[in-house]
Amino acid sequence: MERIKINHLPGQTWNRLGMNDIEIEKYSFEKNLEGKIREEKEELPGQGIAYCDKDKQGGLQRGTESSFDREEKSDCGSALGDAFVELLEETHMAQVVSLVAEAGEQKTYRMEFGKTEGAACGKFDLLAKQNCEMTVFQYFDDRTAAEQTKDARSGIRNRIRAEKGAYIKLVQVFLGGEREEILNDIGAVLEENAELEVDQIFLGGKKTVSGVLAQLRGRKSSFTSNIAYDIGQDERLDLNLIAKHIGKKTEAQMDVKGVLREGAHKLLRATVDFIPGCSGSVGKENEEVLLMDEEVVNQTVPLILCGEEDVEGAHGASIGRINEEYLFYLKSRGIPEKQIYEMLANARIETVLGKIDDGETRERVMAALVEG
Amino acid sequence: MSEFLKIIDLTARAEEKELLHQVSLEIQEGETHVLLGPNGAGKSTLGYTIMGSPEYEVTGGKIYFQGDDITEEGADKRAKRGIFLSFQNPIEIPGITVSNFLRTALEQLTGERIKLFDFKKRLKNVMDTLQMDQSYADRDLNVGFSGGEKKKAEILQLLMLNPRLAILDETDSGLDVDAVKTVSKGIEEFQKKQGGSLLIITHNAKILEALKVDKTHVLVDGRIVAEGGPELVEDVGQNGFEKYLDKESY
Amino acid sequence: MKEKTQVQDINREFYDFRYKEDDADRFEAGITPEIIREISEEKGDPQWMREFRLKALEIYHRTPMAANWGPSIEGLDVDKIVTYIRSKTRMEQDWEKVPEDVKNTFERLGIPQAERESLAGVGAQYDSELVYHNLRQEVAQSGVVYTDLESAMHDERYADMIREHFMKLVPPTDHKFAALHGAVWSGGSFVYVPKGVKLEIPLQSYFRLNAKGAGQFEHTLIIVEEDAYLHFIEGCSAPKYYEASLHAGCVELYVGKNSTLRYSTIENWSKNMYNLNTKRAIVEEGGKIEWVSGSFGSHVSYLYPMSILNGRGARSEFTGITFAGEGQNLDTGAKIVHNAPDTSSYMNTKSICKSGGISTFRSSILVKESAVGSKSSVSCESLMLDSLSRSDTIPAMDVRTKQADIGHEAKIGRISDEAVFYLTSRGLSEEEAKALIVGGFADNVSKELPMEYAMEMNNLIKLEMMGTIG
């Protein structure tokens, strides 16, 4: 089987470290992801996503045509890279779900995807027009399937445009079963004063390759990302976060908190890229990893690429055991070490749930944590 | 019970330096003791060692609590026995709210599940006593708290967890007058209503005003150099530690 | 100071071998086995070294350059290496041929004419020879061996030791230029510090290398036995000029149980140089390697000293500064492998770029399963002096044990206007103020250096900042 490399590190390093990209099998998608979509509280017509052509439903379009024009589409970019985009584009049956929030509107959409056998793809185009607020929840829950097939694969791509002053919040929750592979790509373009927040929670999942590219084109546009993960035995998570500061006074803040249990393998690439001319910009990234067991692989490459003098960039990472002082404080209140670790593991998810600030998301995640 | 806390010839070190030399000290149930001493005398070290901090290594002597030898026990075990230490610099715990934390700790200490309703009610009462805004319950523990708020949060934990022995390490330092009052009120509550024993490490006589002090110990250079009643607090307040320092050097 | 005459036979020290000119293959395959055999012949290599060189050449030819990372070395004319190796005339070059910027720097650093010529590679400095000789006498009394690697290889007391250690830490398979080094290496230092010897004076390769005129493919091999101490200083702050533009040296350091080796380098190659250097240390139980590294010169640099912490409690400290000015692309950093329990590493680096210079900090920290209880702390800071320049930070971490404490911090920024204002308000010119601030920024390295080196480094920073060089 032919293999392709995706999720490239924007500034490459020694190949022997194995962090420059991830290699996956090349395959073609056979169908569209099956799921449901709701706007606010109201269920949209048709069980599941119908993928019918040009059917306009209160800002929701489904079909092979995107609400983006050709140029806008290619413009959004991809964190997973060209090889992944080609894979999706080669799939002629792939349909697009277009979500649009008109100028000044406030919209909330919830999407829910269950188990799919074989290789399925989902393409979502999110267009937030001037000064609107758009919140999109996407839940990928694999555990509901009665039978786990081995070759299940999902390819997901969100293309996002936030016009002047628009606010988009995209929340993705991955409750992994034993699905072989999830490829999840987000590419966004932000205009002046636009804000994008991407919050993601990864619980389990055999192999998840996920990336976010935020192109901060407009002056004072901003990108925040809160990510939490908790993975274990034979689970692999490969992340690629890229904040590209293009306009002046743009801001990015990426926070990743994670828990690795026995047999887990995680790689985080987090990049702040200051393009010449982006004066006054600030980009920060931070990662905290809690290692619960021996036998974990924890890889991190936090990049700062800088071609502009007048910027402020920082990254920090702390990995490993809980510091003694911290442990002592909690123990002195009567909590045993094992419990402290579990408590702190949950605290990481909890912190991101706090940022997401949504009851339904919290319930889903909590339920999964209790089961898991 | 005849013996409550009994420390015999305790010697402890951090890294290569010996900080406590053969310290002996006894506290009976319900008593309030004050530990005084100049900076760097080893007062905090003694408090942390009683709580079982891994930062300090006990190289000699024993600590008994209610008749059991606890010298080698971990901090969580000691907490279960009813020992509490209020930290000078409480650690910030992001992701865990004050309320969640207290409930987890209480359940660990009592070994029972606690009904949310009862817990919330009690928490509210204690917070009122300490004049703490209710919103603190949902804030992450110590995260972004000011110095005074952190100290109050320590006293909140003291009253909620209701230990048998509380060691208060400079709980009054860095507080303004009003905050000292509130904190003292909390300590008084612990002493009188909950009948707890106290070992108060302090510089400040103010915090002791409303409390009945049973015994005072003066620690200099890791040694107990004087012991007495409440009058010793006043004496040190007026004359400082000079005479004890002299005594050391001759 | 009066000028010393050149020492004639120095000319013969370096690649001075007979070569049958054969026009047919001259520009073809680059370096051929014949050339390598002639090098061996000329040096009187023992049999194992003859074979080693040929094997390394084979590896060189079949190893590709990594094309996806690092500065471009397209401008490097590999055929020139052949020309260079064949050249007999290196030491006879004319002072007049030394580029103006190098001469100016000598002028500003106040280096006497004779020494300037020596440093520029156009003459031999008699004083240096003498100093080196005296130093050797003193050091020998303590039982320390400090000599050049080639003669040591022929000395039966050290021959086996060298064979046992030579290119074992940096095998020719490591990368293309390590292979090239293995094939054509020449000159360099051999230091052996016996058990229990703590050498108080630093050994400085500066004297020896200049006297010998070596320094392009030099090999440094240092073996420090148990309970010993050594400080080795390589290079100096004056620019070194070589016509041939490739430096592919190799440094191998063996640090024994409970020993400390401090390895300091201030490097200021002329700005036509491709500096593709490999440095590596292996540290046994309780031992410590301390790297102090300043990179100022060269057109392109690839330099990442590596520490392999191989015994329980082994430690590594890395303190570095890189200053990339106009036309420079300096890719520097460090690699650490935690391979045993309770090992610790500490890294503190600063980089500065200016006038279109590109500076990349690149690092890797590997904490293996076996490195239970290990600690690592990395802090890197970059200063951008203008928007023509570029500064990238590419640190990688790979942690495979729970019982580890890994911390990483990086910052990028500029000189604060407030600080410049404060200093100018006290009467400094803006240029002076900035130079002062940058000097302060570099103090992580300067305070680790012996005073005369620190002063030279500060002068160098000042010169670079004043925009009068290059």
Spell out which residues of chain B touch residue A344, defining contact as CB-CB under 8 Å. Answer: 95-96
Q: Give the gap in angstroms from C-alpha A251 to the nearest C-alpha of chain B.
A: 23
% residues pLDDT > 90 (chain C): 44
Q: Note whether A321 contacts C404, CB cutoff 8 Å.
A: yes
- Whether B contacts C, i.e. 3 or more CB pairs less than 8 A apart, is no
- What does the pLDDT average to over B157-180? 87
A-B contacts (CB, under 8 Å): 73
Residue C429, judged by CB atoms within 10 A of its CB (0-12, 13-18, 19+), counts as exposed
Structural domain of A153: 3-323
Q: Note whether A347 contacts B94, CB cutoff 8 Å.
A: yes
Buried b (16+ CB within 10 A) or exposed e, C65-103: eeeebbbebeebeeeebbebbebeebbebeeeebeeebb
Q: Give the gap in angstroms from C-alpha A224 to the nearest C-alpha of chain B.
A: 18
- What does the pLDDT average to over A165-170? 97
For the cut 80, the answer to whether the pLDDT of residue B63 exceeds it is: yes
Helices (H), ranges, C372-442: 417-425, 430-441
C-interface mutation test, from A5, A9, A13, most C Cβ less than 10 A away: A13
Of A294, A304, A317, the CB nearest to C392: A304
Number of domains present in the structure of chain A = 1
Residue pair A305/A315 in contact by the 8 Å Cβ criterion: no
Number of domains present in the structure of chain B = 1
C465: CB partners within 8 A, 6+ apart = C354, C431, C434, C435, C438
- What does the pLDDT average to over A18-46? 80
Asked if B14 has any chain A CB less than 8 Å from its own CB, the reply is: no
Residue type, B15: E
Asked if A305 has any chain C CB less than 8 Å from its own CB, the reply is: yes
What DSSP designation does C240 have?
Answer: B
Q: Note whether C385 contacts A12, CB cutoff 8 Å.
A: no
Q: Note whether A332 contacts B96, CB cutoff 8 Å.
A: no
Q: What is the DSSP track for B96-147?
A: -BHHHHHHHHHHHHHSS---HHHHHHHHHHHHHHTT--GGGGGSBTTTT--H
- What does the pLDDT average to over B50-60? 90
Residue C177 binned pLDDT confidence (cut-offs 50, 70, 90): very high
The answer to the question of residue B216 being in a domain is yes
Structural domain of B202: 5-90+163-249
Residue B2, judged by CB atoms within 10 A of its CB (0-12, 13-18, 19+), counts as exposed
- What does the pLDDT average to over C85-90? 42
Of A17, A277, A317, the CB nearest to C364: A17
Q: Give the ipTM.
A: 0.89
Chains in contact with B, where contact means 3 or more Cβ–Cβ distances below 8 Å, are A
Euclidean distance between CA atoms A154 and A173, whole angstroms: 14
Spell out which residues of chain C touch residue A276, defining contact as CB-CB under 8 Å. Answer: 387
Residue C101 binned pLDDT confidence (cut-offs 50, 70, 90): low
Asked if B57 has any chain A CB less than 8 Å from its own CB, the reply is: no
Residue pair C336/C306 in contact by the 8 Å Cβ criterion: yes
Q: Give the gap in angstroms from C-alpha A318 to the nearest C-alpha of chain B.
A: 14
Question: Domain residues of chain C, as ranges?
Answer: 1-303, 416-470
The count of other CB atoms within 10 Å of the CB of residue B58 is 16
Length of chain C (residues): 470
Residue B138, judged by CB atoms within 10 A of its CB (0-12, 13-18, 19+), counts as exposed
Q: Give the gap in angstroms from C-alpha B93 to the nearest C-alpha of chain A.
A: 8
Q: What is the pLDDT of residue C10?
A: 30
- What does the pLDDT average to over C406-431? 80
Of A17, A291, A311, the CB nearest to C396: A17
C-interface mutation test, from A261, A306, A311, most C Cβ less than 10 A away: A306
Residue C121 binned pLDDT confidence (cut-offs 50, 70, 90): very low
- What does the pLDDT average to over C400-426? 83
What DSSP designation does C460 have?
Answer: H
Of B79, B84, B96, the CB nearest to A331: B79
Q: Note whether A291 contacts C401, CB cutoff 8 Å.
A: yes
% residues pLDDT > 90 (chain B): 42
Of C360, C406, C410, the CB nearest to A315: C410
The answer to the question of residue B122 being in a domain is no
- Whether C contacts A, i.e. 3 or more CB pairs less than 8 A apart, is yes
Q: Which residue of A has its CA nearest to C405?
A: A320
Spell out which residues of chain C touch residue A274, defining contact as CB-CB under 8 Å. Answer: 412
- What does the pLDDT average to over B101-113? 83
- What does the pLDDT average to over C72-79? 77
Q: Note whether B54 contacts A337, CB cutoff 8 Å.
A: no
Q: Note whether A332 contacts B54, CB cutoff 8 Å.
A: no
Taking the alpha carbons of A84, A85, A91, A96 in that order, is the dihedral positive or negative?
Answer: positive
Residue C96 binned pLDDT confidence (cut-offs 50, 70, 90): low
For the cut 70, the answer to whether the pLDDT of residue B82 exceeds it is: yes
Q: Which residue of A has its CA nearest to C364?
A: A17
Q: What is the pLDDT of residue C207?
A: 43
Q: Which residue of A has its CA nearest to C368?
A: A297
Residue pair C153/C187 in contact by the 8 Å Cβ criterion: no
Euclidean distance between CA atoms A222 and A278, whole angstroms: 13
Residue A362, judged by CB atoms within 10 A of its CB (0-12, 13-18, 19+), counts as middle
- What does the pLDDT average to over A102-122? 85
Q: What is the pLDDT of residue C7?
A: 32
Residue C224 binned pLDDT confidence (cut-offs 50, 70, 90): very high
Q: What is the pLDDT of residue A141?
A: 84
Q: Note whether A318 contacts C408, CB cutoff 8 Å.
A: yes
Q: How far is CA A95 from the centre of its chain?
A: 21
Can you name the residues that pair with B217 across neighbouring β-strands?
B35, B227
Q: Which of B201, B119, B193 is nearest to B160 (CA)?
A: B119
The answer to the question of residue A164 being in a domain is yes
Residue pair C27/C79 in contact by the 8 Å Cβ criterion: yes
B180-189, C77-86, C221-230: range with lowest mean pLDDT? C77-86
Q: What pLDDT digit, counting tens, does each position of B6-45 carry? A: 999 999 998 778 999 999 999 999 999 999 988 888 999 9
- pTM confidence score: 0.81
Q: Which residue of A has its CA nearest to B79?
A: A334
- What does the pLDDT average to over A287-315? 92
Higher pLDDT, A47 or A148: A148
Q: Note whether A334 contacts B74, CB cutoff 8 Å.
A: no
Q: Which of C419, C416, C457 is nearest to C439 (CA)?
A: C457
Q: Which residue of B has its CA nearest to A335?
A: B76
Euclidean distance between CA atoms C359 and C347, whole angstroms: 17
For the cut 70, the answer to whether the pLDDT of residue A237 exceeds it is: yes
- What does the pLDDT average to over C193-219? 69
Q: Note whether A328 contacts B90, CB cutoff 8 Å.
A: no
Asked if A262 has any chain C CB less than 8 Å from its own CB, the reply is: no
Q: Give the gap in angstroms from C-alpha A15 to the nearest C-alpha of chain C.
A: 8
B177: CB partners within 8 A, 6+ apart = none
Spell out which residues of chain C touch residue A301, defining contact as CB-CB under 8 Å. Answer: 394-397
What DSSP designation does C11 have?
Answer: G
A308: CB partners within 8 A, 6+ apart = A245, A274, A275, A276, A277, A278, A279, A281, C384, C387
Asked if B75 has any chain A CB less than 8 Å from its own CB, the reply is: yes
For the cut 70, the answer to whether the pLDDT of residue A248 exceeds it is: yes
Q: What is the pLDDT of residue C11?
A: 31
Asked if B87 has any chain A CB less than 8 Å from its own CB, the reply is: yes
Higher pLDDT, A12 or C462: A12
Higher pLDDT, C122 or A361: A361
Higher pLDDT, B180 or C284: C284
Q: Note whether C412 contacts A304, CB cutoff 8 Å.
A: yes
Q: Note whether B108 contacts A328, CB cutoff 8 Å.
A: no
- What does the pLDDT average to over C160-167? 96
For the cut 50, the answer to whether the pLDDT of residue B228 exceeds it is: yes
Strand segments, DSSP code E, in chain B are: 5-14, 17-27, 32-36, 57-65, 68-69, 83-86, 165-169, 197-201, 215-220, 223-228
Q: Note whether A302 contacts C410, CB cutoff 8 Å.
A: yes
Higher pLDDT, C196 or C104: C196
For the cut 50, the answer to whether the pLDDT of residue C257 exceeds it is: yes
For the cut 90, the answer to whether the pLDDT of residue C285 exceeds it is: yes
The answer to the question of residue A343 being in a domain is no
A366 to A49, A115, A268: CA distances (angstroms)? 26, 20, 24
- Return mean pLDDT, chain C: 79
For the cut 70, the answer to whether the pLDDT of residue C192 exceeds it is: yes
Q: What is the pLDDT of residue A284?
A: 95
Residue pair C114/C84 in contact by the 8 Å Cβ criterion: no
Residue pair A367/A214 in contact by the 8 Å Cβ criterion: no
Residue A253, judged by CB atoms within 10 A of its CB (0-12, 13-18, 19+), counts as middle
Which CATH number characterizes residue B56's domain? 3.40.50.300
Q: Note whether A309 contacts C389, CB cutoff 8 Å.
A: yes
% residues pLDDT > 70 (chain C): 75
Q: Note whether B75 contacts A331, CB cutoff 8 Å.
A: yes
Taking the alpha carbons of A41, A42, A46, A50 in that order, is the dihedral positive or negative?
Answer: negative
Q: Which residue of C has its CA nearest to A273?
A: C392
Higher pLDDT, A29 or C164: C164
Q: Note whether C402 contacts A276, CB cutoff 8 Å.
A: no
Q: What is the pLDDT of residue B168?
A: 93
C245 to C48, C73, C215: CA distances (angstroms)? 29, 11, 12
Q: What is the pLDDT of residue A227?
A: 98
Q: How far apart are the first and last CA of chain B?
A: 40
Spell out which residues of chain A touch residue C401, defining contact as CB-CB under 8 Å. Answer: 291, 294
The answer to the question of residue A289 being in a domain is yes
